[in-house]
Amino acid sequence: MSQTNSNSFEDDHFFRETPDSPYGKTRHKTPGGYDLIRNVHRITLYNTVASSHQHTSNRKRLYLHLDMNCFYAQVEQQCYGLFGMPVIVGGWRKENGIARGIVATSSYEARKLGIKTAMSAYEAASICPYLIFMQVHYDKYRAISREIRNILDRYSPEVEGYSMDEYFLDITHMLKSSHQEIIRFGAAVKNEIRQKTKLVASVGIARSKTWSKLASDIRKPNGLTAILTPDDAAQYLYPLSLDEVWGIGCRRFEKLRQEGVTTVAEALRRGPLVFQRLFGQYFGKMLFETVAGRDQAKVEDDPLHVPEEVTYMHTFSDWTKEPDRVKGEIIRSVQQLCYRMRGYNRRARCFKAYIRFQDAGWKGVSQIFSTPGYTNIDEYVLKACLECTMPVVHHFLRQGQAIRGFGLNTLELDASQQLELFFREGENQRNLCTAVDVLNNRFGIECVRNAGGLHAVEGKTHFLDR
């Protein structure tokens, strides 16, 4: 490691003024440059239904949503000349040819064969024996994502990187333009990206952020759809299932389905009352407004959107019956989870651990555990996690069960940073975490890590750098 100036850690990059800090200092160490999307598949971190993401005025606006179709797979096809070939990103083959891992994404050629995201690589290979496997290479994708962002910044002063492969643009300056001019604008965005990156994208344009996202899905890949009139909405959006709309997951969709409301058209016909009865007076109304394309969502230029929970899941390259290997994976999981909590400036005291078994059903067991108080320091979370999970690990290993994966997530996040009556994080532990974060943020994630994590399960993963 090269030498650094002795005053380098006093740079503002590593400190932030925190007058209300529970540590009693007005200048509290907060390492910058947290890598909060590494090893995270789901990097869509917030929902537009939230009131904090809404404009307070009813001014009419115009939005453009750009989706880089099958981004990871498309990048790998471009890098290795694999266009036209079925490619998945997130899996690999062992020396004996057996496929391992989970499909993070797949090319359209693979999707036409029935290969889907989150499918096991083994199942994908059984569908297509000549499938091409690539591992996730985030550094490459982020570099191309930055190039795309630089292009988009020239088309609008307000650009939101919703994820590495999705962007929103506020193009209200085009609101009074003709239909043809708006179409040409969207085509110009697509064409410049294609020219400079050799990658295709789909674009949706609408007067609501939600509808622009729905519109970009209509003509994939390489599509362009503008929803500018009631007739456009009736033709393209009204037939869509409600579970395609932001904020309506499987549980909310099932409640709506039981009420006979399954499409956008049916929701508009029934009105907001059914939403308010099912989901509350305020949230139900906002959810209906989102479905109806009347939301006033902002294009958020802040790159850090704090999630409602922080999660980490790792499926091992192969199953294991060694408790020390499982313990090593638990240590790595806690380190990843706590690192991300510190990056979001959040704490938790209630967590859920998930142990996945190696069997035909990919079954597992979940456990809930708590720390003595709200914290994001590895030491406290790891102690509570090991006390809860390791007896269970030993129990199932004694029964001959093999373990294939481990996951961890927070059940509640605290942003208050208030002191607690019966728990106080140790200053030495806090300072150690800060120092480790500074080094990892500067020299690469996991530059410094818990030695116990070195005993994790051997083998590849779908992440190239893992």
Over the chain, what HEC string results? CCCCCCCHHHCHHHEEECCCCCCCCCEEECCCCCCCCCCCCCCCCCCCCCHHHECCCCCCCCEEEEEECCHHHHHHHHHHCCCCCCEEEEEEECCCCCEEEEEEEECHHHHCCCCCCCCEHHHHHHHCCCCEEECECHHHHHHHHHHHHHHHCCCCCCEEEEECCEEEEECHHHCCCCHHHHHHHHHHHHHHHHHHHCCCEEEEEECCHHHHHHHHCCCCCCCEEEECCHHHHHHHCCCCEHHHCCCCCHHHHHHHHHCCCCEHHHHHHHCCHHHHHHHCHHHHHHHHHHHCCCCCECCCCCCCCCCCCCEEEEEEEEEECCHHHHHHHHHHHHHHHHHHHHHHCCEEEEEEEEEEECCCCCCEEEEEEEEEEEECCHHHHHHHHHHHHHHHHHHHHHCCCCEEEEEEEECCCECCCCCCCCCCCCHHHHHHHHHHHHHHHHHCCCCCCCHHHHHCCCCCCCECCC
Give the pLDDT of residue 39: 56
CATH number of 244-293: 1.10.150.20
Amino acid at 79: C
Provide CATH 3.40.1170.60 ranges for the chain. 79-128
Contact call for residues 297 and 208 (beta carbons, < 8 A): yes
What is the tens place of the pLDDT at every residue in 327-374? Answer: 999 999 999 999 999 998 999 999 999 999 987 666 889 999 999 999
Q: Which listed residue (76, 109, 160, 166) is catalytic?
A: 166
Give the pLDDT of residue 209: 92
Give the pLDDT of residue 184: 97
Provide CATH 1.10.150.20 ranges for the chain. 244-293
Give the pLDDT of residue 443: 81
Give the pLDDT of residue 37: 64
Provide CATH 3.30.1490.100 ranges for the chain. 8-41+305-455
Measured in whole angstroms, the distance separating CA 460 from the mean position of its chain's CA atoms is 22
Give the pLDDT of residue 31: 61
Residues 6+ apart with CB under 8 A from 124: 88, 91, 99, 103, 106, 110, 115, 131
Give the pLDDT of residue 17: 38
Does the pTM surpass 0.85? The reply is: no
What is the tens place of the pLDDT at every residue in 417-428? Answer: 777 878 888 889
**Which CATH superfamily, name and number, covers 8-41+305-455?**
DNA polymerase, Y-family, little finger domain (3.30.1490.100)
Give the pLDDT of residue 88: 94
Q: Distance between CA 292 and CA 268 in Å, rounded?
A: 7
CATH number of 79-128: 3.40.1170.60
Give the pLDDT of residue 11: 38
Contact call for residues 107 and 74 (beta carbons, < 8 A): yes
Amino acid at 448: V
Contact call for residues 340 and 310 (beta carbons, < 8 A): yes
Give the pLDDT of residue 460: 61
Low-confidence ranges of the chain (pLDDT < 50): 1-30, 41-46
Amino acid at 52: S
Question: Catalytic site residue 166?
Answer: yes
